[in-house]
Structure 1
Amino acid sequence: MARTILVAGTASHVGKSTVAAGLCRLLSDRGVSVAPYKAQNMSNNARAVPRAPAVKNGDSGHPYGEIGVSQYVQARAARIAPTTDQNPVLLKPRGGGESQLVVDGRAVGHFAAGSYYDDHWHEARDAAEAAHGRLADAYDVIVAEGAGSIAEINLQDRDLANVETARFADAEIVLVGDIERGGVFASLVGTVELMPEDLRQQVRGVIITKFRGDLSLLESGLQEFEARTGVDVLGVLPYDDPGLPEEDSLALPSTDERAVFGDDDGIDADRTVTIGVPRLPRASNVTDLEPLAAEAGVRVAYLPLDANLKGVDAVVIPGTKNTVDDLLAIQEAGFDRRLRTFDGPIVGLCGGYQLLGERIYKADIEGTDRPEGASTVSGIGLLPVETTFSEDKRVVDTALELDGTGPFAGADGPVSGYEIHMGTTESAGAVETPFGRDGESTAALGARRGKVVGCYLHGLFENDGLRDAFINSVYDAADRHRPLGTAAAPSPYDRAAALLADHCTLDWLG
């Protein structure tokens, strides 16, 4: 049986994903066969990956499935191929109190929380335990990531990512607490006290994250914590962002705030550009924007839907877990009107592509907030395309050929990424179709008219040539000069590993 290390937390967004990725890279560096795992995830940031062989047998028509982006990242940190076994249960919130349930990579339906726990949780648990067993047969160590807090006393009888994983995997538990917002010792002590009694004996130690200041001022608190709980403090990590993709949208501003991401330190204002991203209420796969924010001189600004576009040089509309409801939110806020008068490049990705079209048919399949009886909804109207929804979901890793025009001028050739979407799109008028596959170019892949382009390819800006062409087009439209490139940043996986190696005791890893 493989050794399992469960990285659990006192709350959401305390740094569990970073610690898990760092452990995966550290163990891989030591030559250990290691795999990531998260029994149940809730996130709209997903990646298309191969389904585990054991679950696609007899289902050969669906070779790809979805997992949360953190497990995809952790697999890369572990230097192994990602599969659906690494995140066998995924819940994707869609609004209206419902989430789409994805088991072993395939969507099985939309359920409210009560329905999920009453009718589907045991099936999900069986799938999660089976996936862990397959990983345990193939690897020496599994680094499992928990979800939220391991001490939610109202959920401990059905806490799949934390309590159940710790039990069926007989996991060593590393507890992570975030000091940035204060109260870390209360959080850690309270978590240890409220954990199920049988699991307290499995706690290997705690790691405190996001510390700023003089570590010596913390020493007395660390000693008192150890004396009160009998649990070792394994390390205190300084506040540092290794640059790993975010698991969910907690790191983004709320819908009524504007926030800017990107590093333009030392670059003159006349050599920077701002890419505006509407903060859709149900935004998904916002990790698509991170390669842009990492470029020198490029700022990615997440905008509330009632914001004006002053100071914005280009707009990218991200994916959405609920195209119809987010389209209605855009129209209610008037963002569609402002977008139609915008002069810069506009790119829509997946759901963002659907929003840019003229109409959406069978909207009742997708939307939860649509007007009663409204099966057709008018789109923003910047691309002459129409989308029709169905219950079928396309999940695939793919490569396309791009005829680079408009905002992607000069980016001819292959581009790769992945598709996760419901609905099919067709042209409704004269439009360019710059994305092709197998010699065929259709609006089902993407479309362009003038400065506006849309496509279904997530991971689009991870393609270096296309990203470079797009940024150049933004600078040209803004009549600014792009700064020279800077040295490549260190690998985020190596940075996460270095955080642990430099600030934690690792003797317990063996």
Structure 2
Amino acid sequence: MKGVMIQGTASDVGKSLIVTALCRMFANEGIKVAPFKSQNMSNNSYVTVDGKEIGRAQGIQAEAAKVEASVWMNPILLKPRSHLHSEVVFLGKAIESLSGREYRESFYEKGLEVIKESLAHLEKEYDLLVVEGAGSPVEINLKDREIVNMKVAEMADVPVILVSDIDRGGVFASIVGTLELMEPEERKRVAGLIINKFRGDLSLFSDGVHWLEEKTGIPVLGVLPYVENHMIDGEDSLSISQQFRGRKKADLDIAVIQLPFISNYSDLEPFLYEKDVSLRWVKDSSEMGRPDAVIIPGTKSTMNDLNFIRVKHLDDSIQKHMEEGGFLVGICGGYQMLGDEMIDEAGTDTGIANIRVQGLEIIPARTFFQQEKETVRTAAHFHEDTGLSCLDRIEGYEIHLGRTILAREGSSFLQTVDGKSDGYYGKNGKVIGTYLHHLFQNDVWRNQWLNEIRKSKGLPEKDMVHIKAFKDQRFDDLARQMKEHINWELLTNIINRWSSRV
């Protein structure tokens, strides 16, 4: 198989971003390229065109590669729903929830089979694969049954590029230590090194490059600069602090409840493009202050995260915010929490059937958790009861187990193109609940909502920010920036030599 695998000395060293850049770099050269990650652990997911669920990183990488995402690009997705258990999404469909031990003991052979099948599918359809590893390839306690790093490189038979993050410190020890802990056959597969997240003058690391090449005998393919505000959707909760840190104070203050099991936080990334918006994450009532709007995002464990809100007294802060006339949006699990009651009929949210939990009682609704998850791309218009004048179609996707039923006095927010009602719209738009992820990715709607907040503060309205127009450009910008700092000729030679060897 022709391709390359990006592995890291640790989690969050930049593997996903580098794979994204490589996908666009190869695509720009006319190569039919696809991303692949055998197993992902993330609550930030992506819905394919056929309604299957994969890791969001692989969906974004497919967009960078200019191809349609499929389940073969990420056949196994683990979505944490507690500190011990994760939902297993297998070829795009949730099948069961397992503890880490149960998963390792019962799923290994099945995992190997689906990885082999996925690689075979992708090899037939694409000219080259860019494969992403997970965590570190030398977690000794996991190596005997790992299906994310060197085992996958062996199955795909591709060379490995090892990436280390210099920003966190200890880059030399990380690289040398990782190589030392590899088996001899594994180390032979490592064909290049990349130093990522370098700040300052890159020429100052030339001695470091020389030392690494002398010590390891492996070429350093590049020293990549720290990319600020790259605007590429993050993969997991580790990325939240990276993407949203350092947000300035601005005219509009939006507080987002940082739930322990937050999912699909890419819903909030469009606000990074709005110059007069300050987005901040709130984990305790003492941090709430007096925001203009509060957003409760999606979650993989709605009832557990509602309990977190109560323990941290954020429920009181949200109620006070509403009493003072603030704006409130609940998305997916956040929408469910806003209702009167949640009933876990099938035990799919808590693991215990028929548990009932009182909601925040802001929206007149009840949610019933069912056995089958709904995953679908959705197109909709505003429900006629809202009186909203925006005629643009709203697009996004749904990933949820719950079915929410509004009381008679409740007004739906959206009407899907197939005739279904979604969500809640109340207090002239100051309270909104919806199952639609990526609601704020819709430029016209986001601008309309923000202008309502601006008007409520006596601020002038602003023109729409066309985020969709930036999306493809950011992939090209990232590819160009990384190509300037990587030995592209050497990398492509490594890939070509490896795939053509006898």
TM over 0.5: yes
Q: Which residue of 1 aligns with 2:376?
A: 396
1:503 aligned counterpart, secondary structure? coil
1:314 aligns with 2:297: no
Give SS of 1:180's match.
Answer: helix
Q: Distance in 1 between matches of 2:196 and 2:288?
A: 36
- Residue 216, structure 1, aligned to residue 225, structure 2: no
C-alpha deviation, 1:493, in angstroms: 1.1
Q: Does 1:324 find its partner at 2:307? A: no
Give the corresponding residue for 1:196.
Answer: 183
Does the CA-based 8 Å contact 2:447-2:465 persist in structure 1? Answer: no
Who is 1:53 aligned against? none
Instruction: Measure, in 2, the Cα distance between the counterparts of 1:296 and 1:404.
Output: 32
- Residue 247 of structure 1 corresponds to which residue in structure 2? 235
Q: Greater shift after overlay, 234-243 or 83-92?
A: 234-243
- Match of 2:409, as an amino acid? A
1:497 matched residue in structure 2: 479
Percent of pairs with identical residues: 37
Aligned pairs for 1:15-414 (under 5 A) are 15-50=14-49, 63-241=50-228, 242-253=230-241, 261=245, 272-342=251-321, 343-362=325-344, 365-368=347-350, 375-403=355-383, 409-414=388-393
Q: Residues 310-338 of structure 1, C-alpha deviation per residue, up to 9 Å, x if partnerless?
A: 24111111100000100111112221121
Shift in Å at residue 485 of structure 1? 6.3
Per-residue deviation at 1:368?
4.1
Deviates more, 1:110-119 or 1:433-442: 433-442
Question: 1:286-311, CA deviations, whole angstroms, 9 ceiling, x for partnerless residues?
Answer: 01100122222112111113335324
Runs of at least 5 residues in structure 1 that lack an aligned partner in the other structure: 51-62
* Partner Cα separation in structure 2 for residue 368 and residue 40 of structure 1: 24
Residues 174-206 of structure 1: CA deviation (Å, up to 9, x unaligned)? 111000011001101111111232121121211
Deviation at 1:438, TM superposition (A): 4.5
Structure 2 counterpart of 1:392, which letter?
Answer: E
Please give the residue correspondences for 1:451-462 in structure 2 after superposition, counting only pairs within 5 Å: 451-462=430-441
Deviations 1:389-420 (A, max 9, x none): 111100111111214887x9443442111111
Change (3 A) 1:496 1:388: same
**Cα pair distance change 1:97/1:364, threshold 3 Å:** farther
SS of match in other structure, 1:289: helix
Which letter maps to 1:110?
S
Residue in structure 2 matched with residue 58 of structure 1 by the alignment = none
Residue 401 of structure 1 contacts residue 437 of structure 1 at CA under 8 Å; is this kept in 2?
yes
- 347 and 404 in structure 1: CA distance in 2 versus 1, 3 angstrom threshold: farther
User: How far apart, in 2, do the equivalents of 1:263 and 1:333 lie?
Assistant: 24
AA paired with 1:498?
A: R
How far is 1:42 from its partner? 0.2
Aligned to 2:394, what secondary structure does the other structure show? Answer: strand
Could you give the per-residue CA deviations for residues 24-65 of structure 1, whole angstroms, max 9, x where no partner exists? Answer: 000000000100010000000001114xxxxxxxxxxxx421
The amino acid of 1:246's aligned partner reads: G
Contact 1:211/1:238 (<8 A) preserved: yes
Secondary structure of the 1:76 match is: helix
- Deviation of 1:91 after TM superposition, in Å, equals 0.3
Q: TM-score, normalised by structure 2?
A: 0.91
The one-letter code of the counterpart of 2:234 is E
After the TM superposition, which of the residue ranges 411-420 and 82-91 deviates more from structure 2?
411-420
| Maintained 8 Å contact 1:42/1:92 | yes
Report SS of the residue matched to 2:360: coil
* Residues 482/232 of structure 1: CA separation in 2 closer, same or farther (3 Å cut): farther
Deviation of 1:260 (Å): 5.4
Q: Name the aligned partner's letter for residue 194 of structure 1.
A: L
- Number of residue equivalences: 483
Unaligned runs of at least 5 residues, structure 2: 494-502
Distance 2:268 2:161 in 1: 31
**1:151 positional shift:** 1.6
For 2:360, give the aligned amino acid.
I
Separation in structure 2 between the aligned mates of residue 441 and residue 74 of structure 1, nearest angstrom: 31
Conserved 8 A contact 1:262-1:298: no
Question: 1:494 offset after TM fit, Å?
Answer: 1.3
Per-residue deviation, 1:216: 3.0
Find out whether 1:449 has 2:426 as its counterpart: yes
